[in-house]
Chain A
Amino acid sequence: MPFYRSIRSRRVRRKPKELDLQLTSMMDVMVIILVFLLKTYSASNHNFSTLPGMKLPTSGSPDVPADSLHLIITPEAITFENQRIVEFVQTAASLGDTEGGYSFKTIDLREDGRQIVPLYDALVRAREKAELLRAKSRARDAQGNPLPFDGVLAIQADKRVQYDTIRRIMYTSATAGYKVFRLLALRKEI
């Protein structure tokens, strides 16, 4: 038996449904994420990175470091501004040792082992570059002279690095014109 549609149902033709996504709620979420990211973004004004496998100590200090020249010390090497400048000699005791046994190459040291030669050269180059940029900059002090070199060095060391190494680095940096050292650590979660 043939199927006949009623006259009323013939008249009302169903329109194909339009797929209408509700974007308003998604926009709300996006805006919240954006505000959060912008707020967090403004808080970190440094560009410090770390090396893979590096273990940093934690500190309860409230001071957040500003951007400056950056030195990374691991039991394997010293890296200054992303350039590996000193390689340590791994001592026999360091193989599988958690204390990180290492020593400097004799050729890298001078002044009775206090000064690290490649580090001194790199620091002097960086200071000269910074002073040149300051001389070309329009920023001047009250007397119209270029702003003096701030001499700030951020030191980021592995937990296992010994004070003897840090002492040599600080001495070398001081002879190269750096007077302020910022020892970096991870923020302690309270």
Chain B
Amino acid sequence: MLKRPSSRRRSSTAIVQINLIPMLDALVTLIGFLLFTLSYLALVHVETLMPQVSSEQLEQQLKEKPLQLTVSLREGDVQVWSPFEKFATKVIPNTSEGLPDVQAVHRAIVEVKQQFPKETKVVLAPYGGASYDVLVSLMDSVRVVEPTDPPLFIKNEKTGNDEPIKMLFPEVVFGNLLGDS
């Protein structure tokens, strides 16, 4: 009688392999599509509204005498002032390169914000020859809170808690759209 053949050689463990190639095809197609349509331009925006004045609003303003923070950009300097003289006018001369000293303007704006934490509007009045680059940097200096700024807080009317201020004067309006008057 023959001996039973050894089963060791025949018992092979079957390896289950998933066919990854179609999945890989789909992924490559998807990545190609996303790369093709992706916007690489990291854009941000600074919003400004068209100034609108109604006669009622104007009368009310004249009664209350609001802050109306104004930043006048002139060829040689920047003036931070209030038409109703709510704070002392500051004149900041340009840097040695002839550009507005946006850091100094920012410091002046922070001081005004400390005095008037609830105010959110600022009127910008640049001269006609100011470049777009200068305008954007000036708008940044009056809107954005820098990490190096002193802590600014505003009292929340509902909760009664002091909350950190995230933006200085976010509502920027150009005050001389009709001319340099």
Contact = CB atoms under 8 A, between A and B. Distances in A.
A65 B45 CA distance: 6
Interface string A98-122: 0100000000000000100000000
Interface stretch (B47-55, B60-68, B81-89, B155-163): B47-55
Contacts of B146: 60
Interface in A127-162: 154, 156-162
B137 A63 contact: no
Contacts, number: 153
A38 B20 contact: no
Interface string B26-55: 011011001101110111111111101000
A152 B21 CA distance: 47
Given A37-B35, A114-B178, A183-B136, A27 B24 contact: yes
A59 B20 contact: no
A127 to B, nearest CB: 14
B43 A159 contact: no
A153 B133 CA distance: 19
A162 B50 contact: no
Contact of A161 (B20, B45, B132, B177): B132
A40 interface: yes
A24 B177 CA distance: 62
Contacts of A182: 45-47
B24 A61 contact: no
A66 to B, nearest CB: 9
B132 A157 contact: yes
Given A30-B24, A171-B178, A59 B39 contact: no
Interface string A44-77: 1011111000000111111111000000010000
B14 interface: no
User: Can you list the 10 inter-chain pairs with the closest CB atoms, starting with the nearest?
Assistant: A164-B128, A182-B45, A159-B133, A65-B45, A37-B34, A57-B133, A187-B42, A23-B20, A157-B132, A163-B130
Interface of A: 23-24, 26-27, 30-31, 33-34, 37-38, 40-41, 44, 46-50, 57-65, 73, 99, 114, 154, 156-164, 166-167, 170-171, 173-174, 178-187
